[in-house]
Chains A and B, each alone.
Chain A
Amino acid sequence: MLKIVREVPLLSVQRELGGSVGEFAGWITSMDYGNPMEEHMCTRTSVSVFDVSHMGRYVIKGGRVFEFLQKLVSKDLSEVGTGKMSGPVLLMNENAGIRDDIMLYKVSEDLWFAVVNAPNVDKDLEWMNTWRVRWGYTDIEIENVTLKSTLIAIQGPKAAEVMENLGFNEARNLKILEFAYGAEVAGKKTVLVSRSGWTGEEVRSFGFEIWTDVDHGAEILRKSVALGARPAGLIARDTLRLEAGYLLIGQDMDENTNPVEARYWLPISLEKEDCIGCSKLREIYEKGVSRIRVGLKLKKGLRVIPRHNAGIYAGNNLVGRVTSGAFSPYLNAGVAMGYVNVSHAYIGSKLDLDVRGGKQKAKIVDFPLI
């Protein structure tokens, strides 16, 4: 099959800032800027800037957009006010398998924006259009604006300071999951600025995401670095999200994973009936599941990284598998998330984990990991 690899629009600016480039989900972008551990710590203690333009962006407009999205996603969107983000919501298949987790932005009843995961930029659009046509929402238009826009995330406890210095007046007023539509940053109008992120927003980090055009994105990326934000890449982003307990599509969840076993409660409304996968989800919930997602922590100071698919054992009995692992510089320990048989998923107990050089004890913990 033809493999499409695209460059993020700001790749040259990333390189100018010291980006070490690699491939992720069909995109060429910066994996780190020399030291992902320091980038991670800087995000926890100060402020970093991430170019996350590889995330897909759609504009959804026309008549009855609310009604259409309400049927499409796992969460009851009637709770989402104007100028608010939905929080993560799921695109499920009919079996309540997770196709993607996406973020919706309500500008008005009939104008919504969506941010979807990088590997699914084309797949989600196709899925949405299929249902749009099937349900007869022919007056709705979904435009993929990924390549002609940018998304810059400024994250960390000092993010508000950098945003103020960039001339964003609402830095201190905007609440988590609120956005300022058409707000000005660095003297120019953006598409929107939101109070959000994927680094552990409610845990240790407080950040903003700026959705704007390509030239303006380049300017904001450069200026934020000049104002003290450290450029950070996808490796740090991955270790930060893992500490926060956030799931990565394709790695921690996929179409063969349901939200109940993933313990991904935030994006679902169990009482919702009329959406793709909703009734099946309710059925799974009532029946119960045989495995659940847990966090795992290895011994402090042991410099090992649990790998995707590594076995989790009770004695010689395989009772689960790791889906994501990292070395957490914040905890100075290897951490992971994975799925474990319900009969062995006791918080606080220890299981054996396959890592480099043999098995190591790992403590079962809940999320977040920090």
Chain B
Amino acid sequence: MSDHEIIVKTKLGEYSVPKNLLYTAKDEWVRIEGDTATLGITDYAQKKLKYIVNVELPEVGKKVKVDESVATLESVKAVAEVYTPVEGEIIEINEELTEKPDLINTDPYGRGWIVKLRTSKIDEGKLLSPENYADKISKEE
């Protein structure tokens, strides 16, 4: 185990859970900086979905509510929605994903981020800590 991430090892694989992020039970990650929240899907989620061939992104400026879908991912395995755990306005989308959707596979916590939102209120109590998220995925496999 390194300083900045938890590695969850299961029968099927190894999954990185960075310690500087918060998580949802639906396998999204959130980075909160002031009133901005960056959203992506976890290493565990991308490994379950496998290779992603397409990402449908929202319009910048769109207002979204908690648990609303902000993106649709299509992988060789399935179609998955990305839900936001915070409400607010989409202020940036990761345009790079249109050309290279597999950045979500190769760099889920970095260049594979999906959207940024400006948010007025964040209920951190609804989000999972890295430890709790690691616990959740280790129990799933």
Residues of A within 8 A of B (CB): 20-23, 28, 31-32, 34-37, 235, 239, 303-305, 307, 326-327, 356-357
Known: A21-B12, A21-B13, A22-B12. A36 touches B51 (CB 8 A): yes
Q: Hey, which chain A residues are within 8 Å of B53, CB to CB?
A: 37, 303, 305, 327
User: When the two chains form their complex, are residues B79 and A356 in contact, meaning their CB atoms are under 8 A apart?
Assistant: yes
A351 to B133, CA, bound (A): 44
Q: Smallest Cβ distance from A17 to chain B, in angstroms?
A: 15
User: Contacting B51 at CB < 8 Å: which of A32, A356, A357?
Assistant: A32
User: What residues of A have a CB within 8 angstroms of the CB of B13 in the complex?
Assistant: 20-21
CB distance from A310 to the nearest CB of B (A): 11
Contact A303 B12 (CB under 8 A): no
Please judge, given known A-B contacts A22-B12, A28-B12, whether A305 and B76 are in contact too, CB under 8 Å. Answer: yes
Residues on B with beta carbons closer than 8 Å to the beta carbon of A327: 53, 76
Given contacts A21-B13, A22-B12, A326 and B76 within 8 Å (CB-CB): yes
Residues A36 and B50 in contact, CB atoms below 8 Å apart: yes
**A305 to B72 Cα, complex, angstroms:** 13
A interface footprint on B46-87 (CB within 8 Å = 1, 0 otherwise): 010011011010000000000000001010100100000000
On chain B, which size bracket covers the interface? 10 to 19
Contact assessment for B76 and A304 in the assembled complex, using a CB-CB cutoff below 8 Å = no
Complex contacts, B105 vs chain A, CB 8 Å: 34-35
Residue B11 is within 8 A (CB to CB) of chain A in the complex: yes
A35 to B101, CA, bound (A): 12
Query: How far apart sit A326 and B78, CA to CA, in the bound complex (Å)?
Result: 11
Considering the complex, give the chain A residue whose CB is closest to the CB of B98: A303
Residues of A within 8 A of B101 (CB): 303
From B11, B72, B106, contact of A356 by CB (8 A) = B72
Within 8 A of A (CB), among B89-134: 101-102, 105-106
Nearest first, the 6 A-B pairs at minimum CB distance are A303-B54, A356-B79, A327-B53, A36-B51, A303-B53, A21-B12
Q: Give complex CA distance A357, B79 in Å.
A: 10
CB-based contact B50/A32 at 8 Å: yes
* B102, chain A: closest CB distance, angstroms: 7
Nearest-neighbor residue (CB-CB) of B72 within chain A: A356
Expressed in whole angstroms, the Cα–Cα distance for A284 and B93 within the complex equals 56
- Whether A22 pairs with B74 at a CB distance below 8 angstroms is no
Partner of A31, one of B50, B79, B102: B50
A303 — which chain B residues lie within 8 A by C-beta? 53-54, 74, 101
Which of B11, B53, B56 counts the most chain A CB atoms within 10 A? B53
- Residues on B lying within 8 angstroms of A by beta carbon are 11-13, 47, 50-51, 53-54, 56, 72, 74, 76, 79, 101-102, 105-106
Contact B74 A20 (CB under 8 A): no
A24–B136 Cα distance when bound, in Å, is 23
- In the assembled complex, 8 residue pairs joining A and B whose CB atoms fall closer than 8 Å, in A order, are A31-B50, A34-B105, A35-B51, A35-B105, A36-B76, A327-B53, A327-B76, A356-B74
Q: Which residues of B contact A32 (CB under 8 A)?
A: 50-51
Bound: A50/B11 CA distance, A: 21
B54 & A35 in contact (Cβ 8 Å cutoff): no
Query: In the complex, which of the residues B11, B47, B54, B106 contacts A304, with contact meaning CB atoms closer than 8 Å?
Result: B54
Chain B residue at minimum C-beta to C-beta distance from A7: B11
Residues of B within 8 A of A28 (CB): 11-12
| A contact residues around B79 at 8 Å (CB) | 307, 356
Q: How far is the CB of B118 from chain A (nearest CB, A)?
A: 27
User: Assuming A36-B76, A37-B53, what are 9 further A-B pairs, CB within 8 angstroms?
Assistant: A20-B50, A22-B12, A28-B12, A36-B50, A235-B51, A305-B53, A305-B76, A356-B74, A356-B79
**A356: nearest residue on chain B (CB-CB)?**
B79
Choose one: B50, B72, B106; the contact of A235 (CB below 8 Å).
B50
CA distance A307 to B47 in the complex (A): 19
Closest CB of chain B to A358's CB: distance in Å? 12
Chain A, residue nearest B102 (CB): A35
Q: What residues on B are CB-neighbors of A37 within 8 Å?
A: 51, 53, 102
Complexed CA–CA distance, A239 and B56 (Å): 23
A327 nearest CB neighbor, chain B only: B53
* Chain A hits for B47, CB < 8 A: 20
Whole-angstrom distance between the alpha carbons of A166 and B106 in the complex?
33
Question: CB-CB < 8 A to B11: which residues of A?
Answer: 28
Are B50 and A22 in contact, CB atoms less than 8 angstroms apart?
Answer: yes
- Assembled-state Cα–Cα distance A37/B74 (Å): 14
Interface centre among B47, B50, B51 (most CB of A within 10 A): B51
